[in-house]
Amino acid sequence: RKEVEQDPGPFNVPEGATVAFNCTYSNSASQSFFWYRQDCRKEPKLLMSVYSSGNEDGRFTAQLNRASQYISLLIRDSKLSDSATYLCVVNSGGYQKVTFGTGTKLQVIP
């Protein structure tokens, strides 16, 4: 089993739709979780950290399920500008090492 797994997609959704991505991780000792977005040929940019209690930032909601070892990202009212690859990131060895999932590609269609 891979350390961090994501459905590669692509998810093609119409503008205004709600879309959700999941990411599963294998290391039960992992403590820190993040979502990044990466546009084509650009660097990853931090979208949000994922806290145990869940967190929300505008149209984006992230949740953590420790029992089932997955994190989720919900995007409401999708915009064309949300089209990107969404990378799940999990700490994987001490404090300094994180592992990236393979990413989920989102395409928002007019």
Partner 1 sequence: DTEVTQTPKHLVMGMTNKKSLKCEQHMGHRAMYWYKQKAKKPPELMFVYSYEKLSINESVPSRFSPECPNSSLLNLHLHALQPEDSALYLCASSQGPSEVYEQFFGPGTRLTVL
**Hey, which residues does 80 pair with through a beta bridge?**
none
CB 6 within 8 A of CB 104: yes
Instruction: Please report whether residue 96 would count as binding partner 1 according to CB under 8 A.
Output: yes
| Least distance (Å) between residue 6 CB and partner 1 | 9
x-or-dash string of contact with partner 1, 9-48, rule CB under 8 A: ----------------------xx-x------xxxxxx--
Instruction: Please report whether residue 52 would count as binding partner 1 according to CB under 8 A.
Output: no
Residue burial 76-98, b: 16+ Cβ < 10 Å; e: rest: eebeeebbbbbbbbbbbeeeeee
Instruction: Please report whether residue 66 would count as binding partner 1 according to CB under 8 A.
Output: no
| Least distance (Å) between residue 16 CB and partner 1 | 28
- CB neighbourhood size of 57 (10 A): 10
Which range, of 9-17, 20-28, 67-75, 101-109, touches partner 1 by CB under 8 A? Answer: 101-109
Strands (DSSP E) along 51-103, which ranges?
55-57, 60-65, 70-75, 84-93, 97-100
What are the residues binding partner 1 (CB under 8 A)? 31-32, 34, 41-46, 49, 87, 91, 95-98, 100-103
